[in-house]
Amino acid sequence: MTALEHFEQLLEFETDCWDVHEDLKSGMPDYVILDVRSPEAYAAGHVPGAINLPHGRIVERNLAAFPAGVAFVVYCTGPHCNGADRAAVRLARLNRKVKKMLGGIAGWKWDGFEFKKSEVRKLATWRAARLQFGLEPGYVQVPV
């Protein structure tokens, strides 16, 4: 493998806080942001627009609300945490598109980006997910 192939491959499966922030600023990103930490950590502060789904709960049943082609960006606490890697493995095993956000919430904070504090946000129904992605009339943009 050449250096070029190596780094191109990394970019296929990784993104960073800056790129996610820019996608959020530009409007609706073309992926779902999953905060894979605990519900308590999520409520204390998370990336705006992120949905909480702890990595241990990533199973097909909990992803049923999302169309098969939807991509996910996952993050956890930071570079010292492998929760995002565990989440990415689970999503990949379920044949879902996935990227890891390098730096996690620590990187988000380091870059000076705004946190959102709230109740745990879940998409409970297929219809809610379809509305989020504009796949049904009555499109609802997720606030970011």
Domain ranges for the chain:
3-131
Tell me the pLDDT tens digit for each residue of 68-92.
899 999 999 998 999 999 999 999 9
Tens digit of each residue's pLDDT (9 = 90 or more) over 44-70? 999 999 999 999 999 999 999 999 899
pTM of this prediction?
0.80
pLDDT score for 120: 53
CA distance 87 to 78: 14
Asked if residue 128 lies in contact with residue 138, where contact means CB atoms within 8 angstroms, the answer is: no
Question: Which member of 50, 65, 76, 142 is catalytic?
Answer: 76
User: Any catalytic annotation for residue 76?
Assistant: yes
User: In terms of DSSP H, where are the helices of 46-120?
Assistant: 60-63, 83-93, 104-110
Per-residue pLDDT, 22: 95
| CB within 8 Å of 8: residues ≥ 6 apart | none
Classified by CATH at the fold level, domain 3-131 comes out as Oxidized Rhodanese; domain 1 (3.40.250)
119 pLDDT tier (thresholds 50, 70, 90): low
Q: List, for residues 1-51, the tens digit of each pLDDT value.
A: 899 999 999 889 999 999 999 999 998 789 999 999 999 999 999 999 999
> What pLDDT shows up at residue 135?
47
The rounded percent of the chain whose pLDDT value lies above 70 is: 82
